[in-house]
Structure 1
């Protein structure tokens, strides 16, 4: 046994261990969603999907703080870093409180707009938002310093706690509304996801002055990252929210299951983005070429995307039966098409994060424009779920074309 552990420590790099951890976490989150889909059925799963989508939206908003923290954890040192991270924790907590209170205040309106069975699920969710923002800054420090073991643990504790708590309550407290149970599970997972929390010394409400030049750097990067994460929210979640608004509960539940299966490529691509950003920043800091690491990760994502799209094209009914059951079979013809749209977006996303790491923001603006295009297309073309998927493919193909155009233009001018 000891020989095996020694072999793992010597042969497997921290980055590889982190990727394995991310696969485990994504697998657990996938299992969570799949079991909910099977247990609840399409109509009730539509409500669950709204909360899960809210969780994804929250993760993108909080990711702004995580990416900013990760970047400047690499760049700043000593007293400047201490001032930066203290201010970041403070600002994240204030932002989380404001957003959480807004969700609680508009809980009834959210229930009405999304046609959910309860408003209490939004109230419980809103209570957990501040904890999620603290968790994201904590993860940003681990990410920037490449403390990948601690970073992995935070994701694992969040996933495992949500999985266990939700299904324990569903099993033993069946009198509770299922959407409320899911909200409670999510809330508790935010608390568990804070561990390990090694940065308590920076968690203080008193503001510490950051030097003017560094403050400007942080502000500029924060604003552009916030804008980009907003585009991620739009592209990743607007379709589910609009489908829940325009279609009945059964069709919305079917579409939610389609999105969950089709987005697997995006969730896998995410782990490469987590490694890409600090690596590119470090290479730039050392004056080394960053192009090889971009090409490497693009190759990984393209291979994964092609494999998943082919699998969805060749075996759609088998995949849906295995994952969700026969109740969801009518969306089988759309599976490979949705996976195609997501795969194209995942590849485009690598370009955007790469240039974001290099402080070049044109790809970020392009993502924003095509995110708005996607919303407009769905607003005007939503006769059927098929049409909703087709317009997304169109928007993502156009986005990839312009991202590639920008890349070749920049590369030719090197």
Structure 2
């Protein structure tokens, strides 16, 4: 026990957070793998749709998290308290609106995505406001670089979702997709552990100075724009495949997407560490490029190793993770991993610029995200075609981000 405590003292909060993120990603993968094996491709298609909608929510929530992170570094005292109150109010308002959309249009969503039940969308909707409040909490911890508490909130959300969902799926007689939606909604409540609402009152007016309000609004609007492009690029393929293809093929593609996205999920850990450090270094007048290259290097090494593994052992990977029913996706695995890797590397550059209040990469990402939707809507004869369209778009995205970086370095 003493040796364990000494080991913990030698581990930095950043290293602890990185380990926690890896554990969370592992738990989320276990969650999806168990659902894939328990439900089979057709039923898993509905469950994977809910997981994809959860990712959509995570990108929207990230607008609040990143804004809170950035201004937790910049603001202090009464300005920080006013900003927190303002952000909580906005998060709750947006959460209620999004929840209302899910609940009111549940039957329309059922028709659009060809699901078994509309009630899966209703169940998910009731938990949405909690998710946005949770995002503000995480932004506070991230901005103050309190990685211990930040790690805990990710752990409580992930483990509660895993255990509650499995309990509902195994022991409740209703449609499995409703069980998955209930598990996700309840996990948002547990994700509020730990929270610190001291000094926060929704009835209390926000008195943020007008000279800061414009800067905050600009960052929030542009970050929201970028997160929407993230939603489009990272999730539109799964949603469109669910719309265009039969349930069995959609379930097979969802398994492919889950395995291929491992690069992106791990790369997100570096984005979480990158943002507050870059903002702080810029505030102190220090160079920010070395920290960018450090994390880009990590993601490139990770990407190469995963693409190589997916190319050499696709059948083994799919068989171990999802089982024989999903083996028809083996040939596409390395290609999907390549598309995701290109996106993950480009994403590091975009968030770097976003933290420095440079927004042209956001516009570029938005244009290419819409281009991806347009291309898939035209070229979707086969699942292979859908994947190859994404590779082409992601090559353009990474190339444009690199071009912008080098132009900025030359002062153009």
- Same fold judged by TM-score > 0.5? yes
CA distance in 2, matches of 1:75, 1:152: 22
In structure 2, the residue matched to 1:177 is 175
In structure 2, the residue matched to 1:74 is 73
Moved more, 292-301 or 199-208: 199-208
In structure 1, the residue matched to 2:211 is 213
How many Å apart are 1:395 and its aligned residue? 0.2
In structure 2, the residue matched to 1:188 is 186
For residue 268 of structure 2, the aligned residue among 270, 277, 285 is 270
SS in 2 for 1:202: coil
In structure 2, the residue matched to 1:87 is 86
CA distance in 2, matches of 1:88, 1:101: 20
8 A contact 1:103–1:126 mirrored in 2: yes
CA distance in 1, matches of 2:14, 2:362: 26
In structure 2, the residue matched to 1:259 is 257
For residue 294 of structure 1, the aligned residue among 289, 292, 295 is 292
Equivalent residue runs for 1:327-338 within 5 Å:
327-338=325-336
SS in 2 for 1:223: helix
1:32 aligns with 2:49: no
SS in 2 for 1:288: coil
CA distance in 2, matches of 1:112, 1:322: 33
What TM-score comes out, normalization by structure 2 length?
A: 0.99
CA distance in 2, matches of 1:287, 1:48: 47
SS in 1 for 2:242: helix
1:5 aligns with 2:5: yes
Deviation by residue 1:197-220 (Cα, 9 ceiling, x = unmatched): 112422423322211111111000
8 A contact 1:90–1:203 mirrored in 2: no
CA distance in 1, matches of 2:321, 2:381: 27
How many Å apart are 1:406 and its aligned residue? 0.8
8 A contact 1:90–1:205 mirrored in 2: no
Deviation by residue 1:124-183 (Cα, 9 ceiling, x = unmatched): 10100000000000110000001111100000000000000111122222x111001001
CA distance in 1, matches of 2:187, 2:205: 29
How many Å apart are 1:102 and its aligned residue? 1.0
In structure 1, the residue matched to 2:18 is 19
Paired residues, number: 412
Equivalent residue runs for 1:281-360 within 5 Å:
281-360=279-358
1:404 aligns with 2:402: yes
CA distance in 1, matches of 2:378, 2:204: 49
Unaligned runs of 5+ in 1: none
Equivalent residue runs for 1:100-249 within 5 Å:
100-173=99-172, 175-249=173-247
1:43 aligns with 2:42: yes
8 A contact 1:89–1:203 mirrored in 2: no
Deviation by residue 1:263-291 (Cα, 9 ceiling, x = unmatched): 00000000100010000000001100000
CA distance in 1, matches of 2:335, 2:92: 40
Query: Where do 4+ consecutive residues of structure 1 move more than 6 Å?
Result: none
Unaligned runs of 5+ in 2: none
What TM-score comes out, normalization by structure 1 length?
A: 0.98
SS in 2 for 1:210: coil
CA distance in 2, matches of 1:112, 1:39: 25
